[in-house]
Structure formats: structure tokens, C-alpha cells
Amino acid sequence: MHELFKNKISNGDHQALINYEQLSKSAKLAIPTPDHYYPLMYILGLQEKNENPVFFNDKLVAGSLNMTSVKFGK
């Protein structure tokens, strides 16, 4: 799921990320409540056309938890 979400962000596929529940059963399990997911939606709204994301804090903890963060711009 981690790479799928990063690919969707990189490709600007915001609609798929908005409707994450429809991506797969794993997506629904990864985001059981969206309160920590909503801030990503705000950040995606700042992405300009042809602007590449920069991912940071991109490490898995205990094999399944991640706090991957993304920014756009300089």
C-alpha cells in the first residue's frame, strides 16, 4: 500500500486518493479512521501541475507503521 499511495501522489492521481476506500481492502485496513489521513488532502490541494513531490520521513516502523510525509515546492 505504501508504494501505491506514493505512486498516486507522484502521478497527481488525487481522485483515487480522495476515494481511497475504493482502492482496495488493504487501503481500508491501512486507514481505519481518516482523521490522520485528512491532512494529506490539504497538501494535495497545494500540488501544482507538473510539480513533483518530495517524500521524507519515509521509513517503516515495526514492519507496518509509517509516517511518510510529503511536500511540494522548494
pLDDT tens for residues 7-18? 999 999 999 999
Q: By CB neighbour count within 10 A (0-12 exposed, 13-18 middle, 19+ buried), where does 63 fall?
A: exposed
The alpha-carbon radius of gyration of the chain (Å, integer) is 12
For the whole model, what pTM was predicted?
Answer: 0.85
51 within 8 A of 65, measured Cβ to Cβ: no
What backbone torsions phi and psi does residue 18 show, to the nearest 5 degrees?
-65, -40
Question: What pLDDT shows up at residue 74?
Answer: 67
pLDDT in tens, 33-71: 999 899 999 999 988 888 899 999 998 888 778 889 999
Question: What pLDDT shows up at residue 53?
Answer: 94
Question: What pLDDT shows up at residue 41?
Answer: 94
Question: What pLDDT shows up at residue 35?
Answer: 93
Domain spans in the chain, listed from the N-terminal domain onward: 2-71
